[in-house]
Amino acid sequence: MSEEYRSMWKDLGLDLEAHDALLAALGQGYKDVFMTQENRPKGMEYFDFVVSQVHGLRVKELLDEKAAGRKVIGSFCVFVPEEIVRAADATLVGLCTGADFATEEVEKYLPRNTCALIKSAFGFKLGKVCPYIESADMIVGENTCDGKKKSYETLGKLVPNLYVMDLPQVKTAGGRELLRTEYLRFKTAVEDLTGVKIDAARLKKGIEIVNNKRKAIHRLAKLRKADPAAISGLDALLINQVFFYDDPVRFTNSVNRICDELEARIAKSEGVFPKGAPRVLLSGCPMAVPNWKLPWIIETSGAVIVGEESCVGERGTRNLTEPKGETVDDLMDAIVERHFKVDCAIFTPNPDRIAHVKEMAGDYKADGVIHYSLQFCQPYIMESIPVEKELESARIPTLRIETDYGSEDAGQLKTRIQAFIEMIGSK
Ligand code: SF4
Ligand code: SF4
């Protein structure tokens, strides 16, 4: 990385030595996982570039935007509505929570048996290695699972600008009202931060930009129904991960470009896996950058991942915000409506998610489902049992995995996954 970037990181208060180590590990991991794939679509070069610049050019862009008066807001969850952020000419970035860092330090603040995702957020802050956390003007924590909401009490003491958003846990009229109240409160907070009054025209524009991003992802998802698969699950996951931090308009154009290429591949029956390769649907906890362990094991064991029922995937992107109405109230209602459909496991009961996993397995012609939970994640571990029961009653083979970000269990996971793939492949 150039001297310019090094001084940028220094100005942000990063620990340069720790940061160098993180980038080196990230770069090597990326090479091992992505660059060893064969016949990748050419359009992936853009996403490779974005990832290579995740701590470089993209951070510089954000800092340039800030210098021009634009605000940056960081988030950990798909319940933070990007439409509202965009409407105020601010930028929303997802904060990486996909790798262990500074674990010893983290465990001075959090119990050891906290999920890796929450620990990762703390590790990136405590280890001083995340330029996004350091450049954010506001970080939004959402009261979803118990682990997150309790950890925000501590995180609020480590970052000066944490904004906590309450969220419903039930899909009732009261739950919807709570979400509406919280989104209105968030809109005011964003207006206060940016000095921009959000009117109907601004909200419409924000909705359009974010919907276009989602539509491009829907197009990509549809193309993954093809056999042979025109794109690997790893590459499709990467695109879903980049969704959270790239410039939205540029991202939308790049996804549409790769979709053009995939359509041409499909017309020629060209694939990255042989026709008839076992097809797997991944379901469960979100996989943030650089959490690629499980998909890498699956796809190097001969199966192709055809969809992700996850917040970094279809759970996060599947519905559009209907831009109906002409007033701020109408449009805010539309944003509430759209997000209230997200079927995160923090909701109880949560039958929509179980129905959605089954529906996706059918739509993407999956031969089996691998349910992935992070260790100590009560909502998804608990829900994996009814998910498995429902799928098995529909004769869809299911494998439940609990893991973390470490590599210690990779061998054991590989053995279990190979056996599962062999079983679904022989059906
Ligand atoms: S799984 Fe739930 S808490 Fe996590 S990002 Fe998704 S909606 Fe938010
Ligand atoms: S829902 Fe699960 S994976 Fe997500 S933060 Fe909570 S415990 Fe961790």
Q: What does the buried/exposed string (b/e) look like for 375-400 if buried means 16 or more CB atoms within 10 Å of the residue's CB?
A: bbbebbbebbeebbebbeeeebbbbb
Which pLDDT tens digit goes with each residue over 234-257? 999 999 999 999 999 999 999 999
Q: Which of 193, 168, 196 is nearest to 183 (CA)?
A: 168
Residue 371 to residue 168: CA distance in whole angstroms: 25
Among 78, 164, 166, 340, name the best residue to mutate to test ligand 1's pocket (greatest count of ligand atoms within 8 A of Cβ): 78
Distance (Å) from CA 34 to ligand 1 centroid: 26
Which pLDDT tens digit goes with each residue over 283-331? 999 999 999 999 999 999 999 999 999 999 999 999 999 988 999 999 9
Triad 138, 144, 70: Cα angle to 5°: 20
Q: Ligand 2, atom 1: nearest CA belongs to which residue?
A: 145
Triad 320, 321, 326: Cα angle to 5°: 145
- pLDDT of residue 1 exceeding 70, the answer is no
Which pLDDT tens digit goes with each residue over 54-82? 999 999 999 999 999 999 999 999 999 99
Q: Ligand 1, atom 6: nearest CA belongs to which residue?
A: 311
Distance (Å) from CA 288 to ligand 2 centroid: 12
Q: Per the structure block, which two tokens stand in for 149?
A: 């909401």
Residue at token pair 């510089």:
60
Q: Per the structure block, which two tokens stand in for 277?
A: 């390769």
Residue 37 to residue 42: CA distance in whole angstroms: 12
- pLDDT of residue 427 exceeding 80, the answer is no
> What global pTM score does this model have?
0.97
Q: Is the peptide bond before 228 cis (omega within 30 degrees of 0)?
A: yes
Q: Per the structure block, which two tokens stand in for 286?
A: 């979100």
- pLDDT of residue 426 exceeding 90, the answer is no
Residue at token pair 């154009």:
253
Distance (Å) from CA 145 to ligand 2 centroid: 6
Which atom of ligand 2 lies closest to the CA of 115? 8
Which pLDDT tens digit goes with each residue over 369-399? 999 999 999 999 999 999 999 999 999 999 9
Which pLDDT tens digit goes with each residue over 88-146? 999 999 998 999 999 999 999 999 999 999 999 999 999 999 999 999 999 999 999 99
Distance (Å) from CA 345 to ligand 2 centroid: 9
Q: Specify the 3-state DSSP secondary structure of 267.
A: helix
Which pLDDT tens digit goes with each residue over 83-98? 999 999 999 999 989 9
What's the whole-number mean pLDDT along residues 30-50? 96
Which pLDDT tens digit goes with each residue over 171-201? 999 999 999 999 999 999 999 999 999 999 9
Q: Ligand 1, atom 2: nearest CA belongs to which residue?
A: 344
